[in-house]
Structure formats: structure tokens, C-alpha cells
Structure 1
């Protein structure tokens, strides 16, 4: 990989594995006691609460090693997991980070980004305005423009998760991942394809950028209206995700919002895992039978993040009553 708009393969994921070693937390893989043959990858315990840390640290360290990291550092438009991961990786590598958010961004997100050392700018009312401001900032200052998912270093870094899952479960048949913009899917698919592992790509019914792109043969804009839109709300999937959907053994699956909510609740009630709706989206595919696990099939579901408000999980019905 020599540029920021090239495709990735397993060699890029392996290179990312070397760069991210010592920076990211190795994923814990635990058996599920509800579905036979199922395992859960606890990636929500990663730095900044999601898999995004993998891509961010790979992006940052790769540019540092190549001598292509400018003195102005990195800039990104994201108030979500990608922005947090970018700020964390930059801070870890002593690189300046600038994050653009809409003026409507919650103060808690702004405060968390600043606690990670990022300079935060609030611009406009919508993400698109913040994104354009980040592009202008990069052009004006020379800062390196990062992206939430559509970048080969970001995608290859995400793929290091699959390398760890395969090391823990060498006989794995299938990995199940939620899909938003396609960065996690692309990286995981590149590694899974090399290991002969099927990839189940799960999207909410009303946030189906990958499904629409597969049908069209290229990325297209979609309407986003899902409980998981905060993480899986990309209006267009990356070209690399479309490419890997065609190359890998890929099974695209859709799940309704009510099943995503139920799966998230089940993970809390059964395991006391407070994950975000994106993580529950992947679990819902197996729990509901949208992806039916075959007899003897060995499956791992990626619980990709936990940047969520757990308040709606702790109710009278599920809270402990004594002891």
C-alpha cells in the first residue's frame, strides 16, 4: 500500500498487525452459552471503546514511519468512535490532532475529545459542514486528513482484529460483523478470505449502504433511519467494501431495529455487557436466525463497541433487588 486510495489485501493487514502491536489491546474471545458453537469477540473493551482504535493507530504509525506525517498533525471530522480513536492515536504518538464537529455536538463528546488532547472546532449544524471545514483546514495547514472508514490504513488496521480472532479460534468457519461505512468489514474480509473464513455482513434494515451498493454494483447514497445510526449511519459505503463483498465469501444480512434493541438488552441481561447498538446488530443476526448457524458451524460475532449510554439498560426489571 503506497497511497491513501489504494485497495488492501491480507499483506496490508499483516503489516498493520506489526504496527499496532503494543498499542492496541488483544481481543478477548469468549464462548456463548445460548447458541451452540458461537463465540463472542469482546472488541468493545478496546481503547476508546471500539475497534476504531486499531485503524487510527495504524494510520498514524504508518505515516510516521513513512515520514509523511506533517507537523500540523492529523485532522478528522467525527464526533463518534472514529474521532475518539483518532485523538487517542495522535496523543499516543505525540502528534497534534484537530477534530471538527457540528455545533450541535453534545458537550460530553467535546469534553472527551479535549481530554484526549485534541483541538476541537465546532462548525455548522450538520456533519457535512464539519467535514468540509476539516478539508479546508487540511488544505490550509497541511494537516493530514483522516477518515472514519474510507482509507486503506484505517481498514487494514481494523482487519488486525480478524487476525487475533483466527489465532484464538483457528478452526473458525464464520465471522459476523456489523457494517456501516465498511472499514471494519473490508479489513476483516481481507483477513478472513486469506484464512478461508466466511464473513456475515450485518446491517440494520433501514441503514443498508452495503446492500444497496451490492445491488447497484457500486456505492450509492441511502436513507438512514435506524437505532444504530450513530455508528452504522453511513449514507454511502466505501468502494473497498463493495470490492471485498465480491471477492470474499460474504453473506449480507439485514435485521430490524426491534431485534437490534432486543439483542442489546439480552447481552446486558444475560452477560451484563453494555454495548452500543452497532455491536448488538451483529449479535441480532445470529440470535434471530437472520443468519442461521449450521450444525457444527463455528461462528464468532464481533461486539465492536461500547460507546453508549447504559442508562436505558438498567431498569426495574433487570436491576438487582438486593444482596
Structure 2
């Protein structure tokens, strides 16, 4: 698949009335934070969900998705906004805070197995049975293009940035951002928890391969392997020296969550704080001339767990 910047621009035009233009926050020593945690439904995910649903069209059978939580919340919110039904399959590890938000948007919630992969297979079987539109969490062209609108918007807001830190789960967000920046000018730092190293393993193997899933951020960054559509885009940037793959510990992620709260009174979920964890922990060391951007990509957690 080829995903061009024109596809991302088209997605931005298509969903302009559906999403929020999220703000930036510049903090000394941290760079420029893109607060996608303030997006509709609490993460970047509605960008891809709305683009998939608007581009493909939703019939009377509604939509189906599988998700560790954030994608399901986004699909449920988009379905409610568009006036269609949604059925969301989640794994057993899905956090209760995320399950509650899915239900709050009016979707039917189904626990589809112990892992995301099991929930995905259950959702695909259900979609084949009902004829509902499948909205994949990270491996559909329209989803990648929608997530890429983060990069378009961020570049408009802060064109001076040279390095962007992005958390990675299945890779739809990173793939969309990489496609937008394929022409050059920006280096991407792909950040994963040590317990969910799907991209790290794929880059080592030269193709998407199964990887472990576990740890603090598994409910949002816990795909068994990265998507096939995003991998060639990301691997191309990696081969050109414009994408680095970094792993962070659960302790570093928790410390980043606490730092966001203590410094800016921002409540981020573990996956949402993972990119910042790479910077604060020293897992990634910026070049002296770097002008850094950090994507804080999700806030769907129990506030009592932070701080």
C-alpha cells in the first residue's frame, strides 16, 4: 500500500467537522507536547475511526471493532455522532475505565477473549455474520490516513520541530505520521514498552512478527504484531536513518505519568505517557540541535492511579 500526503490531506478535509484541533504545550527541557489526550474520546483514535466510517460509508448494520480500549471508545463515539450502532469487542485485559466509556457512548460491549488478537478474531467473525462495517484499530488504509492528520496538524502548529516521539502499539498512528513526513525534514522516535516490542521485533526481522504482550501499557500498546500496511512505510524511514526504535520500562512510563501530573496537571494513561518516558528516562538521547515534539496520545485511565 502507498499512503501519500494527499491521502492524509483528504482525510483531514473529510473529518474536519468531527474532531478537535488539539493544542500544544511547550515545556522547558521536554519540548513541544501535542496534547492529543484532549481529543474527542480521550485519544487520537477518533481521527482514524471517523475517516474510515465516512470514507467507506456505514450501512444499516452499523460498525464493529476490536480494541484494547481507546479504539473502541473512538468507534463508539464516532458511531454515536453519525447515528449508527456499534459493537465493540475487547480483551479481558481492557481497563474498566475504558469499558465504561465504551458503554457510555451507547455501544454494545463484548469481552472477546483473553488477548486483543482473540477479540479481533471474534469481531471479524461477527462482522462476517452481520454485514457490519469493520473498523480496524490500525491496519486499514483509511485508519492510517486519519491518524496521519495528527502530523499534518502538528506541522502547521510547530513547523520548526526536527524530532517527534511517538508511542507505538499496532502502528497505525506511527504509520500515518511516517507517511506524512516521508518527504523528509523530521526524524521519528518510535517508543514501545519493553513488554510490547512489536515494532522493535519487526524491524529486527524485516517483517511483522509476533511479539510478547504484557506490562503496564498493554491495554493500549499491546498488539501482538504491528500492521502490515504501516510496516513498509516505517521500515523505509528506518532504513534511511530517519526513524529510531526505542524501548522503555514500565517504571519509566509510570514516572512519566507522574511527571505530567506534577508539572502540568495532565492525567495521561500509561500508553499516552510512553513517548515522554523515552525522553525523561534517557532511553533516547536527543542530538544537541534537536527541536523536540512529544505526542501525549491518550488519557483514558482512572485519575486515581496517577500522581
TM class, shorter-chain normalised? Answer: over 0.9
What's the CA shift for 1:147?
1.2
SS in 1 for 2:17: coil
SS in 1 for 2:182: helix
User: Could you tell me which of 190, 193, 196 is aligned with 2:185?
Assistant: 196
The match for 1:276 is 269
Q: Is residue 152 from structure 1 mapped to residue 145 from structure 2 by the alignment?
A: no
For the residues of structure 2 that align with 1:257 and 1:62, how far apart are their CA atoms? 37
What's the CA shift for 1:247?
2.1
Rg bigger for which structure?
1
Q: Is residue 299 from structure 1 mapped to residue 292 from structure 2 by the alignment?
A: yes
Counting only pairs closer than 5 Å after superposition, residues 1-323 of structure 1 correspond to structure 2 as: 6-35=1-30, 38-64=31-57, 69-102=58-91, 109-124=98-113, 126-194=115-183, 196-248=185-237, 249-314=242-307
Identify the range of structure 1 (90-99 vs 204-213) with the bigger mean alpha-carbon deviation: 90-99
Q: 1:70 to 1:136 in 2, by over 3 A?
A: same
Indicate if the aligned counterparts of 1:201 and 1:251 stay in contact, CA closer than 8 A.
Answer: yes
Q: 1:125 to 1:189 in 2, by over 3 A?
A: closer
SS in 2 for 1:243: helix
User: What's the CA shift string for 1:250-270, capped at 9, x where partnerless?
Assistant: 111111221111111111111
Q: 1:271 to 1:73 in 2, by over 3 A?
A: same
For the residues of structure 2 that align with 1:47 and 1:298, how far apart are their CA atoms? 28
Identify the range of structure 1 (165-174 vs 283-292) with the bigger mean alpha-carbon deviation: 283-292
User: What's the CA shift string for 1:49-86, capped at 9, x where partnerless?
Assistant: 0000110011111112xxxx322121112250011101
Structure 1, unaligned runs of 5 or more: 1-5, 315-323
Task: Tell me how large the CA RMSD over aligned residues is.
Answer: 1.9
Q: 1:204 to 1:9 in 2, by over 3 A?
A: same
Structure 2, unaligned runs of 5 or more: none
For the residues of structure 2 that align with 1:286 and 1:22, how far apart are their CA atoms? 34
- For normalisation by structure 2, the TM-score amounts to 0.92
Count of residue pairs brought into register by the alignment: 303
What's the CA shift for 1:19?
0.9
What's the CA shift for 1:123?
4.4
